[in-house]
Chains A and B, each alone.
Chain A
Amino acid sequence: MPVLNVENLSVSFPCARRPFRAVDGVSFAIEEGRTLAFVGETGCGKTMTALALLRLTPPMAAIEAQSVALSGRDLTRFSSEEMRAVRGRGIGMVFQDPAAALNPVLTIGEQVMEALRAHERLPRRLAWERAVHQLGEVGMPDPARAARRYPHELSGGLKQRATIAAAIICRPSLLIADEPTTALDVTVQAQIMDLLARLLAERRMVLLLITHDLGLVAEAADDVAVMYAGRIVERTDVQALFARPLHPYARDLLASVPRLTDATHRLKSIEGTVPDLADLPPGCVYAPRCSERAEGCERPQDLEEIAPGRWVRCWRARWWAE
């Protein structure tokens, strides 16, 4: 049984002046011991998908899903109180900017132990000890002292370690990391990714990694889902995607990554711009920018499994796969 199994998740904004769907019919699963990466440009809906799993979307958003199963339990049937019990306990989340994700007026220790106090009702002293231990486990130097510090006294990397500690202290089965390294220096990025890898190996925890950094995907993920305009356009394992991307968008995305060995001087980009979600073309949403556009692309495309474990939302991909 997959740790997380999402079927047909949508997030729409029906009351906006021009209603739109930020997430449209997204389905995916994460098996035990695997890491799934969500890749896409800014605004493609990857963060909104993650927030929808926790029901932390903005108040005017409407979430619909056939099922969202965490270790078999369907979260869509949960009341708000039951959902609150899931947040921080069944699912932990790490955000992009650790400086913004930590409350400046509370100590690190206070914020790390909060989830423990809220979910397991531990007394303060015990929770504090566990928090200090957790900080040590995520590689915080001198954790007892660090716990008494305030966020502004720590560097970016240490802040992110603290937010990770706060997210995993109740031992969730799923950790969502939304661009966990984007706000950090490159060397610190590597340290944080190593930390995450170690934690995943040591605990029974899976990772949903949201990123726009393809390099990170190649290094850290087992499976990848490429998102465009709120929907998944290709979903497969990482090696297959990098070896042979089948969806034109995935292919263009990979091609646009500059290579040091390239002799050309011009950077390759994708022509056109991301479509207005309130005004999408009727057929394939990528068609206006697609170099493989042909007759038949004006029909709506479904995500189809054209080879075992390879899902693509493009009717022409079937031919290229052969």
Chain B
Amino acid sequence: MTRQIALRLGWGALTLLGTSVIVFLLVHVVPADPVRTYAGPQADKETLDRLRHELRLDDPLWMQYGRFVGRALRGDLGQSLITRQPVIEALRTRFPATLAVSLGGLAIWVLAGIPIGVVTARYRDTPFDRTVLVLSMVSISLPTFWLGRILQFELAYRGGHFPVAGLVSWRHLILPSVTLGIVGVGYYARLVHSNMIEVLTQDYIRAARARGLPEALVLFKHALPNALIPVITVLGRDAAALLGGVVFTETVFALPGVGSLAVQAVLSMDVPMIVGTTLFAAAMVVAANVIVDVLYPLIDPRIKTGRQ
């Protein structure tokens, strides 16, 4: 098992390396000049050239990249060109907001989506099922920024029931989490629904009923664990995407998270920050994959971890 994890982490490190190369190259292909960003709009050419030499941005790319990797391995992702603060500090202070909103959204997906999926599968083709189907389609189709804006405008600004934006108390997390939740819950409900339907046709479900088990036990002990196996992968992937920065939601609700940090970095051509936030998102994906790989054998005993 540990060997498996070590292997996954090794591949993860490789993934991060590859990501860093791509990001680094992309950033240097873009026409905007980081030195100008650093120096400000008033700087003249002499200052720019001097700064360029000081910051060693006139060195060949591969040298700059090598320097970058060396520092990164020591935990130094450089400094923001705008705030002059360490990138890694910015990520550290911004991550909790993203984490909080992500957990809120994930909670709604899991706590609402899964039971809905189970019930609609059990009572398929009833009016209830059909209504939920339509609602799920609506939920999947709603754009995050649109829904966030509407909720913000109606419930917070006009209605005054919730704070409009920012992050001062836990109450500020409600609307963003609900936005995220609504946009994804339909997808998870349908996923669980179709997996459950397939599982319910299996012989072992009929055998469980033939043993006289109560229907609730058949649904939740026999059917659901089998139906959730593919859902774990999807959940992992989505969780990774969320933790890398919930861009739309954070922007709409002005949450100080990694997503809004990334947006600001791109808009102001803050190169180290761009690289930093992208690598952070990639690291989340790697971490999520490792966790999913570890969880799988716990749920499906047929999957063996490595050679035994």
Q: Is A64 an interface residue (CB 8 A)?
A: no
Structural contact, A84 and B214, CB atoms closer than 8 A: yes
Interface residues of B in 66-124 (CB under 8 A from A): none
Stretch at the interface among A85-93, A231-239, A245-253, A281-289: A85-93
The range of chain B's interface size is 20 to 34
Q: Is A293 an interface residue (CB 8 A)?
A: no
Taken together as a complex, chains A and B put the C-alpha atoms of A93 and B204 apart, in Å, by: 12
Structural contact, A119 and B212, CB atoms closer than 8 A: yes
Q: Is B222 an interface residue (CB 8 A)?
A: yes
Structural contact, A95 and B214, CB atoms closer than 8 A: no
Taken together as a complex, chains A and B put the C-alpha atoms of A166 and B209 apart, in Å, by: 12
Give, as a whole number of angstroms, the nearest-CB distance from B298 to chain A: 10
Given A95-B207, A101-B203, do A114 and B213 touch, yes or no (CB 8 Å)? yes
Interface residues of A in 92-133 (CB under 8 A from B): 92-93, 95, 97, 100-106, 111, 114-115, 118-119
Given A95-B207, A100-B202, do A105 and B300 touch, yes or no (CB 8 Å)? yes
0/1 string, B217-241, CB within 8 A of A gives 1: 1000110011000000000000000
Structural contact, A105 and B217, CB atoms closer than 8 A: no
Chain B neighbourhood of A100, CB < 8 A? 202-204
Our pick among B202, B204, B210, B221 for the contact of A87 (Cβ within 8 Å) is B210
Q: Report which residue of B203, B210, B299, B302 has the largest number of chain A beta carbons within 10 angstroms of its beta carbon.
A: B210
Q: Is B127 an interface residue (CB 8 A)?
A: no
Taken together as a complex, chains A and B put the C-alpha atoms of A102 and B202 apart, in Å, by: 10
Q: Is B155 an interface residue (CB 8 A)?
A: no
Our pick among A89, A105, A167 for the contact of B299 (Cβ within 8 Å) is A105
Chain B neighbourhood of A114, CB < 8 A? 208, 211, 213, 217
Structural contact, A86 and B299, CB atoms closer than 8 A: no
Interface size on A, residues (CB 8 A): 29
Our pick among A54, A87, A105 for the contact of B301 (Cβ within 8 Å) is A105
Q: Is B161 an interface residue (CB 8 A)?
A: no
Chain A neighbourhood of B301, CB < 8 A? 104-105, 150, 152
Chain A neighbourhood of B226, CB < 8 A? 103-105
Give, as a whole number of angstroms, the nearest-CB distance from A138 to chain B: 15
Q: Report which residue of B208, B211, B217, B225 has the largest number of chain A beta carbons within 10 angstroms of its beta carbon.
A: B211
Chain A neighbourhood of B217, CB < 8 A? 114, 118
Q: Is A163 an interface residue (CB 8 A)?
A: yes
0/1 string, B186-210, CB within 8 A of A gives 1: 0000000000000000111011111
Given A103-B226, A104-B226, A104-B301, do A87 and B212 touch, yes or no (CB 8 Å)? yes
Q: Is A257 an interface residue (CB 8 A)?
A: no
Structural contact, A118 and B213, CB atoms closer than 8 A: yes
Given A118-B217, A152-B301, A152-B302, do A102 and B212 touch, yes or no (CB 8 Å)? no
Our pick among B202, B211, B222 for the contact of A88 (Cβ within 8 Å) is B211
Taken together as a complex, chains A and B put the C-alpha atoms of A26 and B15 apart, in Å, by: 66
Q: Which residue in chain A gives the minimum CB-CB distance to B207?
A: A101
Chain A neighbourhood of B208, CB < 8 A? 103, 111, 114
Q: Is A197 an interface residue (CB 8 A)?
A: no
Sampled A-B contacts (13; CB under 8 Å)? A87-B210, A87-B212, A95-B206, A95-B207, A102-B204, A104-B226, A104-B301, A105-B225, A114-B213, A118-B214, A119-B212, A166-B207, A166-B211
